[in-house]
A and B are shown apart, each in its own frame.
Chain A
Amino acid sequence: MTTAGWIFMSVSVLSVLSLVSFCVSKVLLRAPTE
């Protein structure tokens, strides 16, 4: 695997993980108000 491959994989995976963590945490924080 090349350095560029590591970069592309890391950025992609971390971006998605960040997005899903942000969303899920906001949803779970709001859950008691349902």
Chain B
Amino acid sequence: MSNDKEQWGSRIGVIMAVAGSAVGLGNFLRFPGKAAENGGGAFMIPYFIALLLVGIPLCWAEWAMGRYGGRHGFNSAPGIFSVLWRNPLSKYLGALALLIPMAVYFYYIVIEAWCLGYAWNYLTGSLMLGKNPGAYSDFFTTFTGSAEDATLFSSTIQPALIFIAITFLVNFIVIYRGLSGGIEKFCNIAIPMMAVCAVCVLVRVLTLPANPNAPDQTVINGLGYMWNPDLTFLTKPDTWLAAAGQIFFTLSVGFGVIINYASYVKPKKDIALSGLTATSVNEFFEVCLAGTITIPAAFVFLGATTLATFTGSPFSLGFKALPNVFAEMPGGQIFGFLWFFMLFLAAITSSLSMLQPVMAFFEEGLGLKRRGSTLLMFVITLMGTGFVMYYSKNLNALDAIDFWAGELFIVVLALVQAVIYGWVFGIKLGQEELDSGAELKIPRFVQFVIKFVSPTFLIWILYATLTATISEGPAKGSLKIVERLRDPIQLAGFSIVMGSLLFLWVMVFFAGQRWKREGRA
């Protein structure tokens, strides 16, 4: 069955869209911290190994499965899974690829709004608070409402609410316009703009003079903080786990996005080169830009000791440490604006990609038109984001949904996809799909990597996540995952994620009935 629905307007468009989905806050805030804390330059050894053995192969597998599903008339993961694996249960597994982008959107949009808010506050000068670390920490706490629950819903309208409203509006206006007219057009502008902003900040950072109060705090030493290798970290399993995890998250593998985006690629068009290109664009932003901006800039103004207190948390690094940097940097106001505006663009190209897979399902599974799917998605995400914003104390609700959807289920989905591709759909069909229209010959051994190596890696990551224990404090030795559920907000977040899955399973049931009536399943 041919797919006569939406399709990408151009090859560059789909590459920009997939790259936009992958390039996000994690590139600029998570990667530098992970590398600096796990051996610096030495981290790149397990990082590149994981890229070659897990990242790129699984990306290719998703592209192949998505385009195969698209050729058979499906764009949503439940539909795609139903043709990959002709079993009544397969479409329910596909619901995971709807749950993850939907649940992650609930909190990702909040962080996206922070970026927009920070960019605006730099533009207006409100975030130029001088050399006063406490002021930036207080600003973050007030802006995000992280001191107490419900502070964003007080009697006076909080600025964060305005930025979240604007962010929601922009997301839904773009997504309503559809694939080619909305996402593709937006990404074709946003990605180059991101690169320009990042390069401007990079040039500023690399030309920074040494800190006059601490002559050792130079850009070169800052690069050293990030890149000097400590090879002893290679003997620690946690380093390899951190690298594999970073590759995994940075490429948006197991997110439900690539499989949806690839389903709109026309038959007999290349996906091998497109997939590798999108991946390489993501790596460019991560290794070449983020790897040479974030840590060196922070090092010059904060020094190693203070910087070390921030690298463990992407939020701390991005929203508390860096404003200190821009306060002291010559031209800091404009560079602060460029930096946070770039982060906003990185975030919005990702958040758009989280909306599309679910809306595609609402349209092909429930028969909704674009207006209906947009409205339904708007209502659902408003409720989910409302939960995140209301229970803002210590960003607890955000953290809860991030763990269950963005850390745990994402690994489960990637494992499901690797097993379906490698053991059910089959690597022979997978190779044929990748070879169809290919402008890059993918070596046969990659199929064996997807079938045997990637699932092994993923089982290891899943096992490590489930069995991680608390290392200090009164709950030392307890399973982190169990301790999480003792907290009421964490339990509520878990319930919301599981409730969302249940809701999607019910929708998938009705979609299955519809597809049967239409003779599609």
Q: Which residues of A contact B (CB under 8 A)?
A: 1-2, 4-9, 11-13, 15-17, 19-20, 22-24, 26-27, 30-31, 34
Binds A, one of B36-44, B68-76, B163-171, B450-458: B36-44
Does residue B287 face the partner (Cβ distance < 8 Å to A)? yes
| Of B41, B223, B283, the contact of A16 (CB 8 Å cutoff) | B283
- With contacts A1-B228, A34-B11 known, is A17 near B284, CB below 8 A? yes
- With contacts A12-B291, A13-B287, A17-B284 known, is A5 near B224, CB below 8 A? yes
- Please state if B224 and A16 are interface contacts (CB–CB under 8 Å): no
Whole-angstrom CA separation of A5 from B226 in the bound complex:
8
Query: Which chain B residues border A9 with CB–CB below 8 Å?
Result: 41, 223, 226-227, 291-292
Q: Which residues of B contact A (CB under 8 A)?
A: 10-12, 15, 40-42, 44, 48, 220-221, 223-224, 226-229, 270, 273-274, 276-277, 280-281, 283-284, 287-288, 291-292, 439-440
Question: What are 16 A-B pairs with beta-carbon distances under 8 A?
Answer: A1-B220, A1-B228, A5-B41, A5-B224, A5-B229, A9-B292, A11-B44, A12-B41, A12-B291, A20-B280, A20-B281, A24-B281, A26-B440, A27-B11, A27-B15, A27-B274
- Please state if B41 and A4 are interface contacts (CB–CB under 8 Å): yes
- Please state if B12 and A5 are interface contacts (CB–CB under 8 Å): no
B227 to chain A, nearest CB (A): 4
Total contacts A-B at CB 8 Å: 88
- Please state if B288 and A16 are interface contacts (CB–CB under 8 Å): yes
- Please state if A13 and B277 are interface contacts (CB–CB under 8 Å): no
Look across to chain A and name the residue whose beta carbon is closest to the beta carbon of B230: A4
Interface of A is mostly: helix
Whole-angstrom CA separation of A29 from B48 in the bound complex:
27
Whole-angstrom CA separation of A13 from B453 in the bound complex:
26
Whole-angstrom CA separation of A11 from B280 in the bound complex:
15
Query: Which chain B residues border A13 with CB–CB below 8 Å?
Result: 287-288, 291-292
Look across to chain A and name the residue whose beta carbon is closest to the beta carbon of B278: A23
Whole-angstrom CA separation of A26 from B288 in the bound complex:
20
- Please state if A5 and B284 are interface contacts (CB–CB under 8 Å): no
- With contacts A26-B273, A31-B11 known, is A16 near B228, CB below 8 A? no
- With contacts A17-B288, A26-B439 known, is A5 near B227, CB below 8 A? yes
- Please state if B273 and A19 are interface contacts (CB–CB under 8 Å): no
Beyond A20-B277, A31-B10, 10 additional pairs, beta carbon < 8 A: A1-B223, A5-B228, A8-B41, A8-B228, A9-B226, A16-B283, A16-B287, A23-B281, A26-B439, A27-B273
- Please state if B224 and A2 are interface contacts (CB–CB under 8 Å): yes
Query: Which chain A residues border B40 with CB–CB below 8 Å?
Result: 5, 8
